[in-house]
Structure 1
Amino acid sequence: MIIKYFTFSVSITIISWIVGMIVTAILARTPSYKNLSSLNFIPGASANKLIGIDAFRWIVKNTFFRFFNPKLKIKGRIETAQMLELRKEMTFSEISHFAGFGFVAVFAVVKFINAEFLFGMIMMLINVLMNLYPSLLQQENKRRIDKFLMRFS
């Protein structure tokens, strides 16, 4: 039964990536998108370290996950215009993952309401690992890019 919960949770989370991209593409055409692009849920590096973002970054860089979004890679020297484009792509990815997180969270809440606590917990665990952590990693990377841009502008 746990395998069924796990399989469904991974499947719905992967589907949420597509939903997140669609929602973000729609939001990108609104004036509020600029406000969304400057969100920071975790203020600094020490909090990120505490929740394990460094370990998550290592996993993304050293496993098959590195192939998922090739636009988010830096190769060699990079110019300011390329950094701005990279930041734009990171923002899109970040907001997409947050939208996907919300999508899956609705399903998990329904499971909790229906007293299927184990199913809901597994779903949220997978959701946190596959949607929330990537989004928080993008936020940290955007802060690093912002520091770079401030230093060289």
Structure 2
Amino acid sequence: MLTKHIISGFLFGLSVSLISWTVGLILNSILAKRRYYQKLSHLNFITSSKLNRRIGLRYFKWVVKNTPFKYFNTQLKLGPKNKDLRQIRYQMTLAETSHLIGFILVMLVAVYYSITKGLVFGSFVMLANILMNLYPSLLQQQNKRRIDQLIRKLNNVNRDTVR
């Protein structure tokens, strides 16, 4: 019985998390038109690179880079077609915020199912939500910090060449 709740909770969590991506995109496109959206581009839940390593973000990054997930949002890649760091950062903010919206929505679903179906079922819905929504958002925050460093370096180089 416990195994059934674990498996069904995780699979339900995966499917609800996938649906939350679409809902997150829709709600994010509405939010992006608001004045306060710029403040969302500077969210930083985990600033410590040590803590990022402890929670396994580097393994998650490997999974994203080496599985079909790498084809999901190709606008986030730096390359010959995509050189504008500010535009890449903006796309990262869109992806991060969409995942955060999805995370909150699925968290509400997980709480509901924890109460109605049981704590084990709800916990595994939440585990899937963490993997499918929270970790991608944390990865985007980490990548935005790296992009910000690159932008600062390029601005310093450009300032030095003007002098």
Q: Name the structure 2 match of 1:43.
A: 47
**Structure 2 gap segments, 5+ residues each:** 156-163
Q: TM-score, normalised by structure 2?
A: 0.87
Tell me how large the CA RMSD over aligned residues is: 1.5
Matches within 5 A, 1:34-73: 34-73=38-77
1:6 aligns with 2:7: no
Aligned length: 151
Q: Name the structure 2 match of 1:125.
A: 127
Query: Quick one: which amino acid aligns to residue 27 of structure 2?
Result: V
Summarize deviations over 1:15-49 as a string: whole Å, max 9, x none: 00001101111110111111111110001312211
Distance 2:139 2:45 in 1: 11
Tell me, yes or no, if the aligned pair for 2:103 and 2:129 is still in contact at 8 Å.
yes
**Structure 1 gap segments, 5+ residues each:** none
**Bigger Cα displacement from structure 2, 6-15 vs 134-143:** 6-15
Q: Name the structure 2 match of 1:147.
A: 149
Distance 1:7 1:78 in 2: 36
State the Cα distance separating 1:76 from its structure 2 match: 4.5
Summarize deviations over 1:64-86 as a string: whole Å, max 9, x none: 1111111111224964xx11110
State the Cα distance separating 1:6 from its structure 2 match: 2.6
**Bigger Cα displacement from structure 2, 50-59 vs 67-76:** 67-76
Moved over 4 A (4+): 76-79
Q: Name the structure 2 match of 1:107.
A: 109
Query: Quick one: which amino acid aligns to residue 19 of structure 1?
Result: V
**Higher Rg:** 2
Identity across matched positions, percent: 45
Query: Quick one: which amino acid aligns to residue 88 of structure 1?
Result: Y
